[in-house]
Chains A and B, each alone.
Chain A
Amino acid sequence: MDIIIDVKNLNAWYGEKQVLYNVSLQIPRYNITAIIGPSGCGKTTFLRCLNRLHELTPGNRVEGEIYFYGKNFKGNIYDSKVDPVEIRRHMGMVFQKPNPFPMLSVYDNVAIGLKINGIRDKKKIDEIVMDSLKKAYLLDEVKDALHKSGASLSGGQQQRLCIARAIAYNPEVILLDEPTSALDPVATSKIEQLLVELKREYTIVIVTHNMQQAARIADYTAFMYLGKLIEFAPTEELFETPKNELTERYITGKFG
């Protein structure tokens, strides 16, 4: 198995409260890996550790190692010599609530990631923006509204804009934090299709509270509970024959 992210003994704290306990996990390249679990199980924290976003909130702390085997970076992203800003450029992130920059146009929302990566050539920017919008299945819907505010789109369009924004600067991994929880079923299914399409070029890690979603799109699924990784397996295996009693009880809804 071709591993792109190798998490080793990850512990994380939220202030004084420990939220991740010794999580070890290997994320395969060009696959969709879903992380499921009840709310508060640490799945979002785990995701935010992958691009070193968790530590940004004052008081938060992370221990452990995450090896990232990218094209331009190989090594432990928690090494003290590593600049977290650089790591984040290898990974795109899409959040629970669509959060396009409302003060920027649709076009600039996508272009801004290129600018921070030092791309100045107008023609090249234009090309990449259009390409990203197309990849995000959005171009047809917004090609007449490229210069309207990013906030003027519908919820589903906004989320696809966020995906376009995340893939524009060509990251290797896309992290998604419950990207469809604020969307209706039609918008949700569009995004799911999109993700399955995108895994040909990107490695996708998605946190979802919707198990069916994980079952539909993920190649591998991890179940977390109370800050621990309980089970990690190919999706069909996890959903048909889970090895762990907790997983079984959670996914069949026999919890609590």
Chain B
Amino acid sequence: MIKKIKLYNILFVAICSLALIITLVPLIWILAEVIANGISAISFSLLTNLPAPPGIPGGGIGNYIQGTIILSAVASLIGFPVGLLMGIFISEYREHKFAPVVRFFVDVFAEFPAIVIGIFVYVIIVRGDIFKLFGINALCLGSICIGPTGFSAIAGSISLALLMIPIVTKSVEEALNLVPTSIKEAALAMGMPRWRMVLTISLSYARGGLILSYILALSRIAGEAAPLLLTVLGSFYWFTSFYDRIGALPLAIFTYGLSPYEDYRAQAWAASLLLILVVLILNIALRILIERRMIR
């Protein structure tokens, strides 16, 4: 009887370890394939040149790298401040009756399929339904008009920004929740207005956490393809304007991966390697920062 239970026990631990192995095998497999195929394809000209038609040597993914940087940067410019302010609201003003509502919406929105956000931005920005909602074709302030953007870098950035907001909000909230009350009270007791306490004391105390939340959001949006497909569509050329289409690494991986040409597939591996490296480096940097307690 006891022997049998012991046997079960060993068996159970073995099955558990097996489960962990099953979880980790795909990761290692994917990393191995990406690194092996990516490194053999990567070269300086690949990183700097424009794409070439299949079969013609010397084609590159330079414009995709540029596009991803531009899209991420613009998305960060919109998404991070908004997420930051909302994070401040639900953490520092948690007693406000509206705060739990916002927190719930953020939590739900964070889980929305990215493609849904892509469709939404397509409908209201690319196609411009937001303007039709108000019965106009475009919003004009003096000589500057904002109308339906068509497939464009700006629409792509907005969709990435929307993806970014809940991630930033949640992690900013967590970071601000770690600011000790005693520190905040010290600031208030010396006659600091609350807004100033939040902006100088809380934010600077939690600055590590804020960097963390930004890195987290950035590594998430840098690899996002679905909403971009519906809002920027992709391009084979360098960036020209925010109202034009733009290339992006995830889009290139998608289209190249589906193509039958060997050299396009190789470039898709190279693009994947770049993305994975970015994600990996950001992740590792984070972990080191956390370990060294540079981030609270």
CB pair A162–B191 under 8 Å, yes or no, is: no
User: Taking the complex as formed, is A56 at the interface, i.e. its CB lies under 8 A from any CB of chain B?
Assistant: yes
Structural contact, A117 and B182, CB atoms closer than 8 A: no
CB distance from B181 to the nearest CB of A (A): 9
Contact, CB under 8 Å: B201 / A101: yes
B188 at the interface (CB under 8 A from A): yes
Interface residues of B in 185-199 (CB under 8 A from A): 185-193, 196
Is the pair B189, A51 in contact by a Cβ cutoff of 8 Å? yes
**Cβ-defined contact, A92 with B182, below 8 A:** no
With A101-B205, A103-B205, A116-B196 as contacts: A93 and B190 at CB distance below 8 Å? yes
Instruction: Provide the bound-state CA to CA distance between A99 and B191, in Å.
Output: 16
Partner of B193, one of A53, A85, A162: A85
- The answer on a CB contact under 8 Å between B191 and A169 is yes
Query: Interface residue tally of chain B, by bracket?
Result: 10 to 19
| CB-nearest residue of chain B to A92 | B190
Q: What are the interface flags for B199-238 relative to A under an 8 Å C-beta threshold, 1 for contact and 0 otherwise? A: 0110011010000000000000000000000000000000
Option from B182, B183, B191, B196 in Cβ contact (under 8 Å) with A89: B191
A82 to chain B, nearest CB (A): 13
Which residue of chain B has its CB nearest to the CB of A90? Answer: B191
A92 engages B189 (CB within 8 Å)? yes
Contact B188 A56, beta carbon cutoff 8 Å: yes
Separation of A117 and B193 alpha carbons in the complex (Å): 11
Q: How large is the interface on A (under 10, 10 to 19, 20 to 34, 35 or more residues)?
A: 20 to 34
Of A56, A58, A59, A169, most B-chain CB atoms within 10 Å: A56
| Bound-state Cα–Cα, A178 to B49, Å | 68
B180: Cβ under 8 A from any A Cβ: yes
Q: In this assembly, does B111 line the interface, its C-beta being within 8 Å of a C-beta of chain A?
A: no
Contact yes or no, B190 A116, CB < 8 A:
yes
The closest CB in chain B to the CB of A59 belongs to B95
- How far in angstroms is the closest Cβ of chain A from B227? 37
A88, A112, A117: the one within 8 Å of B189 (CB): A88
Given contacts A58-B95, A101-B201, A103-B207, contact A85 B186 (CB under 8 A): no
Complex A-B: 12 CB contacts under 8 Å: A51-B189, A53-B185, A86-B191, A91-B189, A93-B185, A93-B186, A93-B189, A99-B182, A99-B186, A101-B187, A104-B204, A165-B186
